[in-house]
Structure 1
Amino acid sequence: MKVRDAFFEVLRSHGITTVFGNPGSNELPLLRDFPDDFRYVLALHEGAAIAMADGYALATGRPSLVNLHAAAGTGNAMGNLTNTQSGHVPVVVTSGQQARRYTALNALLTNVDATALAEPLVKWSCEPLRPEDVPQALSQGILLAGSAPAGPVYLSLPLDDWDHQADPGALKHLKARTVQGDPVVSEPALDLLRRRLTGAANPVMVVGPGIDDATGWDGACRLADRLALPVFVAPSPSRCPFPTRHPGYRGVLPSDIPAVARHFDGHDLVVAFGAAIFRYHAFEEGDYLPPGTELWAVTSDPDEATRAPFGRILVGNPSDALARLTETVPARHRPPPPPLERTSRLNEAGPAFSAEAIVDALDAAKDESTVLAHEWTSVDTTWDRFDISRPGSLYFPASGGLGWGLPAAIGLQLGDPSRRVLAMLGDGALHYTVSALWTAARYRVPVVFVVARNGEYGALKKFTQAMQAPGVPGLELPGIDITGIASAYGISATRIDTLDALTAAVTAALATDEPHLIEVPQQPLTAS
């Protein structure tokens, strides 16, 4: 058996039979005579390829694989790799290296100092010392990517390794081995939090992406009910980790230090699960907590725990911690927090619509199983208007890097065909990886892409006001034919002019098995 065959055998043993990629000459020896039981999903740009693999891993809950072209292809992918790293997504990133003899000569397409190229955006980086070590490196990378805290790994693979003979005895052990890499908080440590929570006079809970699973949702809801807790989503979230119609839901925290602290006024204890403490964005000076408030948190990421500037942090699976606390914390007999006041559905006349009205129209079109791939950054925290009632229903670029949402939606749909994916994109974000529309058309991936067209970088315009930076150039995006571009890539595209038409168009598109793009006019910032 050759190294190439052993490589695919290791992938099969982990249930990985989909490869995302954009090939180059260094990768051809691996890809020749591609196995019939594998699926290759072609992206026209490496940034789109890695975001597709990211979305696929999110949907399946297992490591995915993307194959890139040497240093240049890896470089093209690194913008979206920041989202994969920040989102703790288990993606195995492979790239082809020049022939071993040529790398010392820095021949064309040599990946110079390959193991350092993807740092610090990966958990581990490797170029095997010998061809025979390729299967071992792949096995290690898959297991490490999926171990807590999950995250991407990087393998640089020389093009002349694939026809070498593999070690069949070593391969047998690699295919059988497993790693249970999900440590939990020790009972003595959790008991400290349990006692602190039991003794708190007025606690509040903060939840983050790390509990966006069935166990985490159930535990958070039950703990909120048991203790009558108000519940906030942590700042700058990449996922929705709590039902937005739960009586305790209080929305997404703002992203500056003093505004977050103000939301904790009157609370003696903040308990956070599955969130970094905290992912601030808009800069404002201030103290992290109001006087008399203490924070405790649980995260699976030791780096998140140790860089937190305040609080007492426990390291372990936060969903597991919630489930154990819920079973053992005494109930508090006090009135639940009053539900958020919600405005009725907006029905504006147009010709352009507010973001809130567009969200209302989309919410009316989706159902509880719909997955939202959200890269409409000028309205990144407008979740209060969506009815989100189950885990894994909303995803946002975890590091804020644009160009993730469109291809990630394709990966999400391929990873879980049982749930339809609705991508919400700004007209600025769309064009970072617009070529991914070709992949959706080529493989008939039935994502519904809704593009809000306001002809500007709306999120940046908001920041020019907050940062008192008038007169910034390059914020206008006039004259782009979005539906024409989509049609050229083979996507059925529609431009609507009423909110009822938007709801109807999205509802109809979600009922088909083909991709669709729907453009809706959004009020620019100056008219909001």
Structure 2
Amino acid sequence: MATVREIAHHFLQRHGLTTIFGNPGSNELPFLRGLPAGIDYVLGLHEGAVLGMADGFAQVTGRPALVSLHAAAGSGNAMGALTNAVYARSPLVLMAGQQVRTVVGMEGMLANVDPTQLMRPLVGWAGEPTCAEDVPRSLAQAVFEAELRRRPTYLSVPYDDWDTEASPNAAMIVERRVRRSATPGEDDLRALAGWVNTAKHPALVLGGDIDSAGLFDRSVALAEHLDAPTWVAPSSFRLPFPNRHPLFRGVLPAGIASVSSALDGHDLALVLGAPVFRYHQHEPGRYLPEGTRLVQVTDDAEAAARAPVGEALVADPGMVIEALLKRCTGKVAGEHRYLPAPEPPVGEVALHPEQVFAALRDTQPADTTYVVESTATNVAWWRQMDLRRGGSYFFPAAGGLGFGLPAAVGAAIGNPGRPIVGVIGDGSANYGITALWTAAQRGLPVTFVILRNGTYGALRWFAELLEVGTVPGVDIPGLDFAAIATGYGVPGHTVSTVDELRTALAAPTDGPRLFQVDTTLTTPE
């Protein structure tokens, strides 16, 4: 008879969870014993980096990923990175080891006290099997919940369960499949098409879910069919529309009054694959301009329920896009010629971030995937980059620092055929720095570009926005990322001029490399 562990391993293989990201503790070792040859265990040196790698992997592959965490302390280390995965709707399955059952109640060393509450409210589901025989079913539920909710789940398993003989029924869990369909109704489609056809000045607002669902090109087709100005929703974690397209109007600012101002003049705002809206800076005002109807289409029922304004249709955005292409009258428009980037400004003491981004644009392949965690340079980024393919841009979905370096590593593991570049601020880099070790050990051809300005640029901007004056803790001088990278096994280089940077970026690489570039301070807006 098979053990619980063997059934679990078989289930993971059968359902494609063959890449495990982890940093093991003693409670996890019994699960890891005898891993089948087809399962790849990706070791990270800190649980935050481990979860960030899994997040990047899940986003580029569109598949669930298993994250093996230690009990309470190790799980706690991962919670900062978990916030990004939640808002990216990454289907991660977090599985933590638990003490043996006879010791949990006594709160023995490494017992996970009340584990189902530990990761709430971040995870969509959390559980601990009631007995060893329930482990395979609980693991299956964790996977299916993550897929159906598109939200991380958490499962705590006492480590003495793994060697238990499984019941005859346990093997039946391996063949289970759970699917979800969110087909919009005919009445809903008729009404939606009617609103679009009668709108005089419709606008599209696209969220990261559009890119996650592989709808990048279809969103372009819809925008061109309607000849509709197109924004990216505030605080978006992916790019759902080419940023140099003539219909692209930029990323909506993350403030209530600013969003209302940007949508002024449009009688219809059709929001596809995004919450309404993920505001950041406090800007009181009307949610929408006078005379603007907002209609949200999302497969995220929670996002639809919590929106403060507009009408919502919970359905597959891809099906709605195809329906609108068939039912809506096409607008006559000229040829959509992509717009050139402006000449980047020149920094006086250090390089301007736009000079760095222009160098990336001109030297990297057109299908490069960029994992970006440099908050203070987002305006410079969109002014210079030319991204025309889906899966080109990833950003920490909750703004939690430590995403960029690990997610770039995870993206390289998940999509080895596509060039990966991590663009990371010096403040952010410290939170996920241990991911460099994993990149070095696996020889991943990732290019890391560290923008060093010696300060938390976004905090300086917020200090001005909040009118708090001079505050402590915003400067971080004395960091040498080229030396740090070399210590982790990644060749690190300091680059001072545009010509040096362009030459370095254009050189081929078959392994990881890091370029530290001193840049001038810019602001998010």
State yes or no: 1:159 paired with 2:159: yes
- 1:522 aligns with 519
Alignment match, 1:231: 230
Of 500, 512, 522, 2:509 maps to 512
Superposition pairs for residues 216-365 of structure 1, below 5 Å? 216-333=215-332, 343-346=341-344, 348=346, 351-365=349-363
Amino acid at match of 1:276: P
**1:369 shift after superposition:** 1.3
Give a deviation string over 1:53-89, Cα, whole Å, max 9, x none.
1111111111000100000000000001000111100
1: CA distance between counterparts of 2:337 and 2:184? 32
Taking the aligned partners of 1:257 and 1:113, their CA distance within structure 2 comes to 39
SS at match of 1:138: helix
The structure-2 alpha-carbon separation of the partners of 1:390 and 1:86, relative to structure 1 and needing over 3 Å to count, comes to: same
> Could you tell me whether the CA contact under 8 Å between 1:9 and 1:175 is conserved in 2?
yes
CA deviations 1:436-488 (Å, max 9, x no partner) are 11111111122110000000001111111111111110111111111111111
Work out whether residues 461 and 525 of structure 1, in 8 Å CA contact, stay in contact via their aligned partners in 2.
no
Change (3 A) 1:297 1:490: same
Whole-angstrom CA distance in 2 between matches of 1:174 and 1:111: 26
Alignment partner, residue 150 of structure 1 = 150
2-side partners of 1:466 and 1:443: how far apart? 43
Q: Per-residue deviation at 1:187?
A: 2.5
SS in 1 for 2:209: helix
What is the match of residue 369 of structure 1?
367
Q: What residue is the counterpart of 1:19 in the other structure?
A: 20
2:51 maps to 50
Aligned counterparts of 1:53 and 1:168: Cα–Cα separation in 2: 33
CA distance in structure 2 between the partners assigned to 1:155 and 1:306 by the alignment: 27
Q: CA deviation at 1:105?
A: 0.7
Whole-angstrom distance in 1 between the partners of 2:59 and 2:194: 34
Is 1:405 matched with 2:404?
Answer: yes
8 A contact 1:216–1:323 mirrored in 2: no
What is the TM-score normalised by the length of structure 1? 0.96
CA distance in 2, matches of 1:182, 1:283: 37
Partner Cα distance (1:143, 1:271) in 2: 31
Contact 2:342 2:383 in 1 (8 A): no
Establish whether residue 387 from structure 1 lines up as the match of residue 386 from structure 2: yes
Structure 1 residue 343 displacement after superposition: 4.7
Aligned length: 522
How far apart are the structure 1 equivalents of 2:252 and 2:339?
17
1:216–1:320 CA contact under 8 A, matched in 2 = no
Partner of 1:9: 10
Larger deviation: 254-263 or 394-403? 254-263
Deviations 1:307-366 (A, max 9, x none): 111000100111221122112211123668x97975533273654112222211111122
- Unmatched tracts of structure 1, length 5 or more: none
Q: Which amino acid aligns with 2:122?
A: L
Deviations 1:113-163 (A, max 9, x none): 00011111111101001111111111121122112x411110001010011
Matched, 1:83 2:80: no
Percent identity over paired residues: 43
Aligned to 1:93: 94
- The change in CA–CA distance for 1:402 and 1:270 in structure 2 (over 3 A counts) is same
SS at match of 1:432: helix
Q: 1:398-452: per-residue Cα shift (whole Å, max 9, x none)?
A: 0000001100110011001011110000000000111111111111122110000
TM-superposed deviation, 1:214: 6.8
Determine helix, strand or coil for the equivalent of 1:29.
helix
Q: Which moved more, 1:374-383 or 1:252-261?
A: 374-383
Match of 1:31 in 2: 32
The alpha-carbon deviation at position 244 of structure 1 amounts to: 1.4
Q: Distance in 1 between matches of 2:275 and 2:297?
A: 9
Equivalent position amino acid for 1:186 in 2: G
Change (3 A) 1:161 1:21: same
Using the alignment, how far apart are the partners of 2:368 and 2:339 within structure 1?
24
Contact 1:255–1:282 (CA<8 Å) still a contact in 2?
yes
The answer for unaligned runs of 5 or more in structure 2 is none
Q: Which amino acid is 1:371 matched to?
A: T
CA contact (8 A) 2:204 2:231 kept: yes
Report how far residue 200 of structure 1 moved: 0.5
Which secondary structure does the structure 1 equivalent of 2:382 belong to?
A: coil
CA RMSD of aligned residues (A): 1.8
The alignment status of 1:74 with 2:71, answered yes or no, reads: no
- Measured in 2, the distance between the counterparts of 1:487 and 1:215 equals 37
